Structures are given as structure tokens and as C-alpha cells.
Structure 1
């Protein structure tokens, strides 16, 4: 929870820190480049999750990777708060992205180790552990921006970043205090699984990889510092890398002889759902970039004599997720066998989220949008997330070939990486100072995903009929 608290607290400030004038404590960056960098940072974070998984499996083991990732995140926040200028920005964001990627994968692995090693089934502690983990993520995402947003408005960005660092230090202290007790509670088999790498590299290879990673980090820092790499190139490069990775993950099972024709057909059926999920995360990522700018520049945030900090808008999504997830789970439980198929929920969720961006479009000609517009827009996007987030994960698992189950699951995280990278790339066309450009941006970013969601929604019944005709033994929900 503390890691998410600090992470979302920092992310709520990032776009403002990048484009606010130097006299206001910011970096003085062009607004379009600032939103592009926010998207690139999000994509780099999800790509770092792969790197974190590799380090945990082959170099350090999941528990040490978790601890090392937390130390990196802490260092990143301290760098952002203590080192001004481009060097602090590059090193700070890089450390946070890499550290968060390590924490994201290794925390799930450590929690997932709480299973019965003889049966492979989760034991009684595993379910509550994941429930508390998910609750901690959302509580941290809700409270982090409230604290850092208020501190940055009252005392400046450095204090906001320092608060995020303090939160991480508290979390590290709690973890280190409980670490020995946690490891002692594991059975010998589980402890060996989390403390050491499962695919251990030879000692000389480990040193070679460590040296290579260090050299790569230094090269990246120097390239940014010397101006050899621009924000636009980074954004475009990450988008290209994530798209090529997705193509590769799709091509592998489609070309492999061990994958049956039925499984290859399932992979092809997953492609439209992958596109819908990717486009949704592009919409959701507008919250951290374009809608954050809209909150600052285009929204009347005054309530009496108090001006609400723009960064507080980042707390709306987790607030709505926490508030709506229980009623929605209750609804699915009541429906049981009558619950809509995946294509229906994903298509409907995409339409719902797209509608959220039409609300600010209606006020582009006003001097400022009313206070309710942004919460209403984020509410609709959050409702779409409740359909598409779990639906995307379920669709990925449902369509995965048996021989590629683990690697295929990486496609879900690629939808987030591509979506965030794409959001950063297209955000360069947003201009809050031109009502025509602002209207064009919101309409295009809303209507194209809405059309994709509508096509997916309308095609669901006919797809289901065709699937059941060719697979009569499969349950209706298996149509995906």
C-alpha cells in the first residue's frame, strides 16, 4: 500500500511539475511534451515489469527483487525531490519506473507463493492476501494524490515529492520490520522459492548481465543529458517497441506446430478484444495527461474561498473503482449464468468510457468548465474500467494456448503499455488554448474508440451463434 501511496502521489504531480514555469517550481517544459513524457513513463513502467520478472527469476529471487525494487522507488522519489533539473528528472523517473516494475511482479509472486506446494492450490491465506493487496493499491491510489496535491499547492513540488519519499521510507521500515517474521512463516519449500532465483544463471553470467544493465542505464542517462534523445523520440520508440512485442507474442503461437488449429482460432478471436483493451487504456491514460491539464487550465475548481488542487482529480478514479466494484460484483453474482459474454462487457465498457470524453468536449467554448464535468467524465471512464479491466484479464486467460499460457498473459500488460504510450503520443495534439483544437481532440479520441466498442458490441450475438455452431460442446460463455 505504501508503495502505491507514494507512486500515485508522485504521478498526480508529474505533468504539472513538467510544464509549470521554472519560477513556479516546475521544469518549464512545453505542455505537449510534458503529456507525451507522462505517457512514455507509464509505458516504460509496464515494460519494466517484464525486466523485474526476469531479474526475480534469474538473478535475485522474487523477495530480494521486491526489496530492491522498493529501494529503487524510494531513491527515485528522493532524487526527484532533491536534484533539480533534467538530471534529477531522468534519474528519478527511471528509478521509479524500474523499481515499480520490480515491485509489481515480485509482490504478486511472493503473495502467490502462499499455496499448498503439494496440490498447487491456493491455501486459506492466499485469497485474503490478494484481497488486501488489491485493497491497498486502491487505498494508496486514493489517498496519495490528496496528500501530495495539497502539499505541492501549499509548499511546492519538492515538498510533494519528498512526501512521496517519506511514505516509501515508512513502507520500507514496516516491511523490513516484518520481513524476518514473514519468511519464517513460510514452509522450507516456499521460502526457497521466494528467496532464490528459480532459473539461476551461472555466476559469471550474472555479473555480465549486471554490468550490461549498469552500462545501459549510464548510456541512457548520458543520451538524455547530451540531448541525443528527445521526448518525441522516446515516446515514439516505446510505442514501436510495445507494438512489435505484441506482434511477436501473437505470431509465436500462430506459427508454432504444438498449438492446435482450435487454439490458433482462439488466438485470432482474441485480436479484436486485445485492440479494444488497448484503446481503453489509451482512454484511461488521458486521466494522467490531458485531463490533468484540463483540470488545471480549463476547470473552475473554486468551492467558496477554497480552490481544489488540480492533482486531487487523480484520486477520483480509485474512489469510483472502490465505490462501484462491490455493487457490480453483487450484480454479476445475481446474474450468474445470465451474465453477458466478454465481448458484450468489453464493447459496452469501451462505449461507456468513450462517453466520458464527450463531456469536456461540450464545454470547450466556455471560459471554464463547471466543477462537476471532470468528476463525471472520470466516473464514466472508471465504470468502463470495471468492465474492461477484469474482462481483459479473463479474455487473455480464456484465449491463451496451453503451451503459451504464461507468455500469452503478458499481452494483457502490453495493452496497458501500448495504451499509455499511445496516449502520450496523441496528447501532443491537445491544445487547451484553442477551442477548435480542443474540440477536435476530444471528439476524435472519444468517437473512434466508441465506434470500435459499438462494432464489438453489435457483433457479439452473431459471433456467439457462429462459435456455438462450430463448437456445440462448449458453454455459451466460452464464446468469449
Structure 2
């Protein structure tokens, strides 16, 4: 059994919350700092320290990498639950990720022709480390509170705010280091962030977390279990599983469009955007911070809107449809940006088009992403909860691979502009069609939920804000 630490409170919450806040903030700083420069590094010419890959090859690899980021937690979560315990999994995963960042940060002239092999090794270490780190730290936040403790929602609000702070700062710092000193320095900065995360956990966890996360969850559950009997699924449970599968499949459409951010849109910002602000050229990687910044700014506003609507608050499938419409609006923004250019002019669109693109997509994310974990936790039979959560993440992994595949059609040179327009039109149209289908299915899906929608959860601003900030637990 886990015992709660007696380290005192800070701002009304256990001090262990702020340790987990810092641990995750610095990990996200490292991960998003690395991700913001990854594709740009791959397509940069060799003389500038890159690999000189084509856009298609870089985006294809990016899709495979981000897919692995969502698949490996299925195995890492199993190892933590059955063998390692959450604390060991987090430390081992953090060290592997730091090793991955630093491996990618080795200068090419020191690698004697093995640049790509070492690069792939770095990516593999990142994927393995992420698998151990990602699924375990969030669950430890809840373990800090006794069952029924009303501070839990506020705790997750604080925790997820920390994640977004890390997600906002990482691309800014690592991106600046890469742009001003060289790509490898960007990866080194990301690795330093990861080491800070691990150091905090190693030095402070015993004091502020007690023995939370030390024992594997399966060992604890076996000690508490009174029965091993497996009951067949009821009609209600079967219907609720249908809802989970339906919305998981539709989530592929949203994430397929949303995850163009780190790939195609990163290249678009680099090659086709006027990034001059007075005499300073804004690094293309800095636009990767907009999503996290917008979450911090707009999540409280979205929470207030849902609170004001009260009983008129849309059901989850309707929110899902709204999210897809926002996704489409983001691509409409880019279509307008491309069409606004005169014939024969070199394309250098205003940065404001990209800002609007990321704003619309973030608003869509705030309508959809909180549905994920909440939906599975409310609808899944307890004995199948982990498997069905795995299905949700598996669909997100598939979406990331498809996103890379779609983005790889960007091409090179002048043809890239026509191809980009076609991609934006295709993704926007797919989002609109999917939104209409989801709207038409909404009544049936709510019926299949059998009253689970909105039950057992306090309808307060604090609770809804916690859900809105929970987006990173879903996608990041």
C-alpha cells in the first residue's frame, strides 16, 4: 500500500505536487524543444550541420517517430505496473531520454561517417525513455490525495499548467540555441532540461512523495483484490465500448490534421513565412510554442464558457464535432494565406496567418482532447479500462503516422506550394465531413452512453478547467 508523504503543504497542496510539476515541466521542455527543431534539422543542408534530406523523407520519419511516442507507453506502462514501479520507470525513462538528446547533440565531425546511425540511436533512446516516463507521472499526481479529496481537480490544473509552461519554453530556448549556435546545441539544451527533470526526481522524491510509486501497481492491486472472477460484458458495457471505439477512430481525423504542426507547418514557417520582426528574424521553431501558450491563455476561458452554458453544455460528441470544425478553420486560414499571394510573387506569408492557424487548432484541441481520458474513464468497464485506454492512444499513434505520410506529399521547390494548397484543402474538407458525420451520430452515441455523460463529476469551474488543461495527458 502507498502511504501519503508527511512533507507539509504549499499553496494548499502537498509539496509533492510541485515536485511532479517541475519533473514534468522540464521533461516537456526537453521533448518539445527537440521536436521543434527535428524536421528543420533533417532538411537543413549538410554545410549548415543538417542531413540535407528531402521534405518527404523528413516528414515520413517524423510521422514514424511521433507514432512510436504513442505506442511505447503501452509497453512502458505495463513494465511499471508489473515490474518496476512508477518511480523507477520515470528515472530510467528520463535517463534514456537525456541520453537520446545528447546522442543527437554530438557534432557530425566527431562521428566519422556514422551520423545517421547515431541519429537513429538517439531517436530510439528517446522513444524507449518516453515509453517509461509518459504513462506514469500523471497517475502519481492522483496518488497524492485520499479518495474524495476535493483538491484533486485543482492539483491536475496546476500540474497540466506546468506541462504547458515546459511545452512553451522548450521550443523558444532550444530553437534559439539551434538557430544561433547550431543544431546540436538545440539538442543539448533539450538534454539539459531532461537531466534537471531526473535530478529533481532522484533528489527529492523520497522526501516529498513518500513511497508513492515505489511498488508496482499490480502487486498493490493483488493485495487489495478479493476476487478473480471474470464477469461477462453487459449490454450497457457493450454499448459504452462502442462509443469508445467510434470516437477513438474519429480522433484519428483530428490528430492527423493537428499533428501537421511539428512537420509540414514547421517547414512552411521556415520556407514560406516572413519571420522578420524589425531587425530580428524569428526562428521557425518558435511557432511550436504557440499551442502551449494558447492553452494557458484560453483553457480558463473555455472552462468558463462550459460553466456558463451549464445544462446547455454540448455533449461530448458535439464537442468533438466543434473541434473538427475548428480544425477545418485552421486549414481555411492557410488556404486564404496561399490564395492571397499575387502571381509571380515569391511566397512569404505574414506570420499572423500562422498565429491564426495555431489559434484555431488549439481551440479545437480544447474542445476535443479532454474527452479522451475522461471518456474512457467514465465508459470503460473497470476490468478493461487499461486496454481501452491503450486503444485510444493507439489511434493517436496511427494518426501521427498518417500525418507524416500526408505531409510527405509537400514536395520541393515551387511544386511545394501547389501541393501544400492541395493538402490544406484535403485536410479541411475531411475535417468538415467528419464533423457532420459526428453530429449526425451524436444522439446515438449519447444513447449508448446510458447516462454516463456528465454523471459523477462536479460541474464547477475548477473541475472543468482541470479537464481543459488535461489536453496534454491525451496528446503529449
Indicate the TM-score class for this superposition, using the shorter chain for normalisation: 0.7 to 0.9
Q: Is the 8 A contact 1:348 1:454 kept in 2?
A: no
> Shift of the alpha carbon at 1:131?
2.9
Q: Where do residues 205-220 of structure 1 align in structure 2 (5 Å cutoff)?
A: none
Q: Which residue of 2 aligns with 1:166?
A: 192
Q: Where do residues 156-195 of structure 1 align in structure 2 (5 Å cutoff)?
A: 156-183=182-209, 186=210, 191=211, 194-195=213-214
Residue 341 (1) aligns with residue 323 (2): no
Q: How many Å separate the matches in 2 of 1:38 and 1:426?
A: 11
Q: Is the 8 A contact 2:94 2:195 kept in 1?
A: no
Residue 66 (1) aligns with residue 87 (2): no
Residue 301 (1) aligns with residue 275 (2): yes
Residue 103 (1) aligns with residue 103 (2): no
Q: How many Å separate the matches in 2 of 1:35 and 1:140?
A: 24
Q: Is the 8 A contact 2:77 2:135 kept in 1?
A: yes
Higher relative contact order (CA closer than 8 Å, sequence separation 6+) = 2
Q: Is the 8 A contact 1:281 1:415 kept in 2?
A: no
Between stretches 268-277 and 443-452, larger displacement belongs to 268-277
Between stretches 20-29 and 426-435, larger displacement belongs to 426-435
Q: Is the 8 A contact 2:169 2:289 kept in 1?
A: yes
The match for 1:443 among 422, 425, 439 is 425
> Shift of the alpha carbon at 1:436?
2.5
Q: How many Å separate the matches in 1 of 2:152 and 2:311?
A: 27
Q: How many Å separate the matches in 2 of 1:462 and 1:107?
A: 36
> Shift of the alpha carbon at 1:161?
0.9
Q: Is the 8 A contact 1:114 1:123 kept in 2?
A: no
> Shift of the alpha carbon at 1:115?
3.6
Deviations, residues 98-138 of structure 1 (Å, cap 9, x unaligned): 1122111121233232243xxxx154675454333211110
Q: How many Å separate the matches in 2 of 1:394 and 1:129?
A: 16
> Shift of the alpha carbon at 1:270?
3.5
Q: Where do residues 16-165 of structure 1 align in structure 2 (5 Å cutoff)?
A: 16-82=40-106, 84=108, 85-116=115-146, 121=147, 123=149, 126-165=152-191
Pick closer, same or farther for the CA change 1:335–1:40 going to 2, 3 Å: same
Q: Is the 8 A contact 1:347 1:453 kept in 2?
A: yes
Residue 288 (1) aligns with residue 262 (2): yes
Can you give the 5+ residue segments of structure 2 that lack an aligned partner in the other structure? Answer: 1-24, 109-114, 220-229, 342-346, 456-476
Deviations, residues 121-164 of structure 1 (Å, cap 9, x unaligned): 15467545433321111000001101111111111101111111
Can you give the 5+ residue segments of structure 1 that lack an aligned partner in the other structure? Answer: 201-255
Pick closer, same or farther for the CA change 1:269–1:172 going to 2, 3 Å: closer
Residue 370 (1) aligns with residue 350 (2): yes
SS of aligned partner of 1:360: helix
Between stretches 170-179 and 49-58, larger displacement belongs to 170-179
Q: Is the 8 A contact 1:396 1:411 kept in 2?
A: no
Deviations, residues 156-201 of structure 1 (Å, cap 9, x unaligned): 1011111111222223333332133124xx3xxxx2x62233447x
SS of aligned partner of 1:195: coil
Q: Where do residues 238-257 of structure 1 align in structure 2 (5 Å cutoff)?
A: none
Deviations, residues 333-362 of structure 1 (Å, cap 9, x unaligned): 222222111111101111111220122222
> Shift of the alpha carbon at 1:317?
0.4
Q: How many Å separate the matches in 2 of 1:169 and 1:373?
A: 36
> Shift of the alpha carbon at 1:459?
4.1
State TM-score, norm by structure 2.
0.80
Pick closer, same or farther for the CA change 1:403–1:320 going to 2, 3 Å: same
More helix by share: 1
> Shift of the alpha carbon at 1:415?
2.8
Q: How many Å separate the matches in 1 of 2:321 and 2:154?
A: 31
Q: Is the 8 A contact 1:258 1:403 kept in 2?
A: no
Deviations, residues 2-23 of structure 1 (Å, cap 9, x unaligned): 1111111111000011111111
Q: How many Å separate the matches in 2 of 1:320 and 1:269?
A: 30
The match for 2:399 among 404, 415, 419 is 419
Residue 310 (1) aligns with residue 284 (2): yes
Pick closer, same or farther for the CA change 1:26–1:346 going to 2, 3 Å: same
Q: Which residue of 1 aligns with 2:470?
A: none
SS of aligned partner of 2:338: coil
Q: Is the 8 A contact 2:253 2:430 kept in 1?
A: no
State TM-score, norm by structure 1.
0.80
> Shift of the alpha carbon at 1:475?
7.7
Q: Which residue of 1 aligns with 2:6?
A: none
Q: How many Å separate the matches in 2 of 1:430 and 1:261?
A: 47
Deviations, residues 412-436 of structure 1 (Å, cap 9, x unaligned): 2223211111101221112363233
Deviations, residues 212-243 of structure 1 (Å, cap 9, x unaligned): xxxxxxxxxxxxxxxxxxxxxxxxxxxxxxxx
Q: How many Å separate the matches in 2 of 1:83 and 1:56?
A: 34
Residue 354 (1) aligns with residue 334 (2): no
Q: How many Å separate the matches in 2 of 1:335 and 1:392?
A: 21
Residue 266 (1) aligns with residue 292 (2): no
